[in-house]
A and B are shown apart, each in its own frame.
Chain A
Amino acid sequence: MPQSMPRAPILLTAAVKYLEEELLPTLSGYHRFQTRVTANVLNIVRRELELRASQAAAERERLCALVGHDGEVEQLSDELCGMIRGGAIELDDARLRAHLRQSLADALAINNPKWPSG
């Protein structure tokens, strides 16, 4: 991310504000629906920029503990997939379940924060 201001999340907030507060009331039918979806997608990107870096750091620590060595998130996660599939870890392993639950909660905090309590 460049150091120039305003930061990307602020730009996205302004874009969403325009779409929702000024453009949407003038639209109906197809374009109203598409514009709602567009605002939703911009909000997803904004939350990803705000939340993902710290989530990924915590996810990497959990993955290192489960897989048993250090590495990058994506590579460790793929390795965990192989362990689950190959039976190298029990499906009811409490640490595994806690990790999956936290990872899903993290993703939902970006993609659809209302879902877990809905």
Chain B
Amino acid sequence: MSDDDVQLRLEAALERHTGRAAKVYGVQRLTGGANRTTMAFEASGAGDGDTRRGYILQIGAQVLDPIEALPQASPAEQARLMMAAAQTGAPAPTVVAILDSADGLGEGYITERVGGETLGPRILREDRFAAARRAMARQCGEILAAIHRVDPAAAPFLKRQDAAEHVAAHRSVVDSYDFKLPALELALRWSAEHAPRGHRLAVLHGDFRTGNLIVGEEGIRCVLDWELGQIGDPMQDLGWLCIRTWRFGGAGPVGGFGAREDLFAAYEKASGHAVDPAHVRFWEAFGNVKWAVDCLLLGTRGVEEVGIERSAIGRRIEEPLWDFFNLIEGREA
């Protein structure tokens, strides 16, 4: 599809979904994630009057050989989840249209564009984000509390796994690749034995971390990448945010910018649910196991075709496993 085609199809799609004639300008392909295409464009008419505003088109490429055991929301499901999360006060992108086959653009959605920085190393190092960094652990607690308030009935399509089931799903993925690494075996057995029981279930973001947040000088503006949305143990989202991989070398265990105490206190205040640090610590430990399994998948699946960047991630599998042992053996990670 040429950029001119995209422009015409976007205009038609905006008119179909918003009921107003729109003019589209400046379609631009942005660097997207591994499984999707992201384009930015401007349009007038779709929003209020003739003001030109920025939008994002997200198209999910067909996932080859999807991993059924693990949570994975389709683009339309992601959009519905973002709409539900916006209702409970989470800064999710504002969905303008959920595309269907009549739009001829592929499976995806259009959201309003939010300005700001997403790159972890910049957010964590540049002086202009110093005030944002001081506010972000508290904001993360408040935002996660808002996401976890989403009524599961508003997102019935999400995969539902309690902690033990989530661990077992990762065990089954490793088995399906017939991959054997003793450190990973120990980590999976430890995780199965230590998975929290009897926890509450909530709607989770599933990939809430530095790199998936749009940040301005005042703090977090928007939460991106909802494709791992799921129903599970809400403490999973808190632990995942703390693993060292997502700190990008920044100071502070929460996302490279903050302190666990600030995250937990803000979450407790906003959600009314007490946070047990040992419970979050399980999810930090298992978060490392999850990232190790991701490295295995990225370094194994279709590795001859995916290019050097994804192949190289396969060689990162020992990083989270090293941190996992530090965590369970009581060393700081």
Contacts and interface: CB of A to CB of B under 8 A. Distances in A.
A11 interface: no
Interface in A76-94: 77-78, 80-81, 84-85, 91
Interface in B280-333: 307-309, 311-312, 315-316, 318-319, 321-322, 325, 329
B183 to A, nearest CB: 5
Helix, strand, loop or mixed for chain B's interface? helix
B181 A81 contact: yes
Contacts of B322: 104-105, 108, 115-116
B308 A77 contact: no
Given A37-B312, A40-B312, A85-B189, A111 B181 contact: no
B185 interface: yes
Given A77-B182, A81-B185, A85-B185, A104 B325 contact: yes
A104 B183 contact: yes
A91 B189 contact: yes
A34 B183 CA distance: 30
Interface in B180-201: 180-183, 185-186, 188-190, 193
A108 B319 contact: yes
Secondary structure type dominating chain A contacts: helix
Contacts of A111: 315-316, 318-319
B156 interface: no
Contacts of B307: 34
A41 B319 contact: no
A81 B180 contact: yes
A115 B291 CA distance: 15
B242 to A, nearest CB: 16
Interface residues of A, number: 30
Contacts of A108: 318-319, 322
B249 interface: yes
A112 B182 contact: no
Contact of A103 (B180, B183, B189): B183
B319 A100 contact: no
Interface in A20-40: 30, 33-34, 37-38, 40
A95 interface: no
A47 B316 CA distance: 15
A96 B186 contact: yes
Given A108-B319, A112-B316, A41 B183 contact: no
B308 A107 contact: no
B325 A118 contact: no
A97 B182 contact: no
A104 B319 CA distance: 8
Contacts of B312: 37, 40-41, 44
Given A41-B312, A85-B189, A91-B193, A77 B180 contact: yes
A38 B319 contact: no
A101 interface: yes
Nearest to A80: B182
Nearest to A41: B312
A102 B188 CA distance: 19
Given A38-B308, A91-B193, 4 more contacts: A33-B309, A97-B329, A100-B183, A104-B322
23 contacts: A34-B307, A37-B308, A37-B309, A38-B308, A41-B311, A44-B315, A77-B181, A78-B180, A80-B182, A80-B185, A81-B180, A84-B182, A85-B185, A85-B188, A91-B186, A91-B189, A97-B325, A97-B329, A100-B182, A104-B318, A104-B322, A112-B316, A112-B319
